[in-house]
Chains A and B, each alone.
Chain A
Amino acid sequence: MNAIKRVSSAEDLEKLRRGIRARKEPSKHIIAFCVGTGCIALGAKRVLEETIGEIKKHGLEIRVDVKETGCLGICEQGPMLIIYPEEVPYFKVKPEDAHEVVSKTIVEGKLVERLLYRDQVTGKVYKKIEEIPFYKNQLRLLLENNARINPKNIEDYIEIGGYSALAKALFQMTPDQVLEEVKRSNLRGRGGAGFPTGLKWETTRNAPGEPKYAIVNCDQGDPGAFMDRALVEGNPHSVLEGLMIGAYAIGASQGFVYVREEYPLAAENISTAIRQAEEYGLLGENVLGSGFNFWIGVHRGAGAFVSGESSALMTAIEGNVGEPRPKYIHTAVKGIRDKPSCLNNGKTWATVPLIILRGAEWFRSIGTEGSSGTMIFSLVGKINNTGLVEVPMGITLRDLIYNIGGGIRGGKRFKAVQTGGPSGGFIPEEYLDLPVDFDELTKIGSMMGSGGMVVMDEDTCMTDMARYFIDFLLEESCGKCVPCREGLRVLSKILNDVCEGKGEDEDIQTIEDIIETMKEASLCELGRTAANPLLTSLMYFRNEWNQHIREKRCASKVCKALTSYYIDPAKCQACLICLRECSVGAIQGEKDQVHWIKQEKCIKCGTCYEVCNFDAVEKLSGEHLPPAPKGMKPIRKRKGGN
């Protein structure tokens, strides 16, 4: 590494950028590994170590560089790597494959067919990353650079043009002009509610009190959403740059990044990024020699969903219990230590440099009238291509799920998609052609949220999902206000009863009454929107509720109390696998004797259903249980000698 030189003007930054670019050799191979948390979970670190070993074995250290990048989005296909300059993407790479990757692709210049992306339906093989349907239909503005930079190295970010938006804002624009540009771009907060960002900045700017604070919210508590993690992990400097531009516009000198405890890598990467930016003179006192001072501190959360709410997050930064307060006075006016504090989501901040560089008009041309720009969704659940997708606002759900997501897993039927986390709702099949933006989703009872999108198929019970969300919120409710605390407790009790087959017809009326009170009287947005999943489940899937309450049956066979397991004697091969795996010894039988389940012992854990290789274990609900075939010989599928 060269000796670090502080950048003290915009020209210096350009000079540094030119220097970094000149140092790069265009013919040099670069193997970029995705080392986001997702790929690490699938063993990316071992693949990386093996590859480095292989490179050394071939003596290619000078010709090949290994780069660790952030999340590339298509987590289902991980661990993945891209080889530059040819841009060959390899998916599902195992440590054993490292040898072939190096010896074939790097040395001989041939492709390893087996590791390329193969479409699960058509069987077509794709050699370029842009051609893969998952990427082809996306517009990756924020996530694009994740593949090209090492988040732990600021020079990578500077090389691709980083911090030029900051230089432009500091030297060519006044704070008013920056604010005006963001207001004109119609950027709305990406954290969930979709509040216009420019307006929020203006409120903080005009509020009395010094110092002012600017905060990044990376406390993504929504289960099923992880785009903040991917962004802060993979491209922390873009968030920092946006934060600094925002701070310049609103006149803040102190910033905070609040990262949730469950994202250790994100906290580590953003801390490294801050340290490097300070060393380069891009952060701290007299940024780029412009006279603008800004400091950033990283605060780690400690596992509380409610801390993602703006006023709760600010009390958490103050070191207190993260409970929300009534917001008659907005946090933009009185936030941390009663000073004006501007809180935005990480994605919102990361969008700001793009707006400053390319202009508000460009930004408005993407997306819909009311919601401009792109949105990152985490497309997860029972879908073929799970991962992070970035699309322009206004795309239809059908496009998202079938074109990008590749349809439902195992050819099952689509049932619902849950958006917006615990504050959002379920969207049934009939609304699949709805354009996705802030206003349209709110109209049908759900919300955009931070962009979580959990796809559910016919094996998901909507009553059970409603119960799941209420139980989740009950656990996470801070307990400060009565409607939320007590309302959720009673709702949880009723829903658990319904799922256990003890529900009654009046219950639905009670649920609706409680929801109404909670909506009116809860202190914060969490309590007010807590019932959204339950409401939409009731609204669109009423027949399932009736089945649970009147017929005592769960059509999706999820609710334990209404389901029983049964081994089909015609299919059972008496292989003893389920018998050994059963933790309570409920499965009876022996070798050469069809197994059967002792119902009074069975705890319905579903292990036998999971492990059976012959699909002999069935779930029954509301049907009459056939008698157990004691002592029956199995009907062999194959002949004995085979």
Chain B
Amino acid sequence: MPTVLLKCQHCGYRWDYRGKNELYATCTRCRYKVKIPEDKVRILRQKKSSLELKSSFSTEKRPVKLLGIAGIVNKVVEDYRYDESMLIQILLRLQKNFNWLPKEMLSEVSKQLRIPLSQVYQVATFYKVFSLAPRGRHLIRTCMGTSCNVRGAPIVLDRLQSLLGIEKGEITPDGAFSLESVNCLGCCALGPTMTVDSEYYGNLKVHDLKRILSRYR
């Protein structure tokens, strides 16, 4: 309970008040009503609210509730039962939720899985899918597979680069698009192909691109 030092205006008695009232307290010696000064009321209130907070977050006999990034990571890691061989799957899931993998997230993964951070980074930088830098709201992936290449994928990529004003692997200044190329989307019969988010576009023509992009602006 919060305590404040009060002085009785009537008899001059000083005592430690530890009650619930916020405006008046009763003097323990003369039973006179004593007004609690403004600044001390504040202390009382603060102490009260911090006490309430503490009781609701009491860690005794309760699992630790993680907040922020730790909580996001914990949800996924728990799903995979803290299995470190699931590292790639965990990172994939995190990236799906978060669009990219911030540094803090990687270190949190390493902490919770109890593996060295270097191992997490090794995996995150080896595989092409993982992005360690923020991505745009929409991810454009153009296929550069053999079939698409033969059927004109380089021209499509050139056009996309000039339309968006960015190189492959970059993000537009307004954060709307990221442009990446992949080796094969598995739609080889329809080349050139690209995906925007999870939407597939086949048999692309150079002059269609502007129209397709305008749908996502």
Contacts and interface: CB of A to CB of B under 8 A. Distances in A.
B201 interface: yes
A299 interface: yes
Interface string A383-415: 000111000000000000000000000000000
Contacts of B9: none
Nearest to A378: B188
A263 interface: yes
Q: Give the most central of A319, A387, A465, A476: most B CB within 10 Å.
A: A319
Nearest to B93: A300
Contacts of B152: 610
Given A223-B146, A452-B146, A606 B123 contact: no
Nearest to A459: B150
B183 A221 contact: yes
B88 interface: yes
Interface in B32-72: none
Interface string A203-226: 000000000000000001111111
A38 interface: yes
Nearest to A418: B146
A380 interface: yes
- 8 pairs of A and B residues whose beta carbons are closest in the complex: A223-B145, A75-B189, A302-B127, A41-B200, A303-B128, A386-B189, A41-B202, A224-B146
B97 interface: no
B34 to A, nearest CB: 68
B190 A41 contact: yes
16 contacts: A37-B185, A38-B187, A41-B202, A42-B203, A223-B183, A224-B146, A224-B147, A301-B127, A302-B123, A303-B127, A303-B128, A303-B182, A320-B87, A382-B151, A607-B155, A610-B206
A37 B200 contact: yes
Contacts of B126: 304, 321-323, 478
A78 B159 CA distance: 26
Interface of B: 83-89, 91-92, 119, 122-123, 126-130, 144-152, 155, 158-159, 162-163, 182-191, 193, 198, 200-203, 205-207
Contacts of B198: 264
Given A38-B190, A41-B190, A41-B200, A224 B89 contact: no
A76 interface: yes
B187 A224 contact: no
Interface in A600-641: 603, 605-607, 610-611
B85 A317 contact: yes
The DSSP consensus for interface residues of chain B is: helix
Nearest to B144: A223
Contacts of A96: none
A37 B91 contact: no
Q: Give the most central of B145, B151, B201: most A CB within 10 Å.
A: B145
B5 to A, nearest CB: 61
A78 B92 CA distance: 31
B146 A37 contact: no
A378 B144 contact: no
A261 interface: yes
A619 to B, nearest CB: 12
Given A40-B200, A611-B207, A605 B158 contact: yes
Interface string A574-610: 0000000101100000000000000000010111001
B155 A605 contact: yes
A380 B189 contact: yes
B155 A261 contact: no
Nearest to B201: A41
B123 A223 contact: no
Interface string A423-467: 000000000000000000000000000001010100010000100
A198 interface: no
A304 B155 contact: no
Contact of A224 (B88, B91, B128, B145): B145
Interface in A346-397: 378, 380-382, 386-388
A37 B206 CA distance: 22
Contact of B189 (A38, A221, A300, A606): A38
Contacts of A607: 155, 158-159, 206
A75 B188 CA distance: 9
Contacts of A41: 187, 190, 193, 200-202
A305 interface: yes
A42 B128 contact: no
Contacts of A321: 122-123, 126
Interface string A289-307: 0000000000111111100
Contacts of B159: 583, 605, 607
Contacts of A388: 189
A319 B86 contact: yes
A75 B187 contact: yes
Contacts of A583: 159, 162-163
Contacts of A316: 88
Nearest to B123: A321
Contacts of B147: 223-224, 380-381, 386, 454
B114 to A, nearest CB: 13
Interface in A201-252: 220-226, 229
A318 B123 CA distance: 12
B207 A472 contact: no
A583 B207 CA distance: 12
Contacts of A465: 146, 150
A42 B92 CA distance: 27
A228 B213 CA distance: 31
Interface in A261-316: 261-264, 299-305, 316
Given A460-B150, A468-B146, A37 B88 contact: no
Nearest to A40: B200
A516 B119 CA distance: 35
A390 to B, nearest CB: 15
Given A302-B91, A454-B146, A606-B155, A386 B187 contact: no
Contacts of A318: 85
Contact of B206 (A75, A322, A611): A611
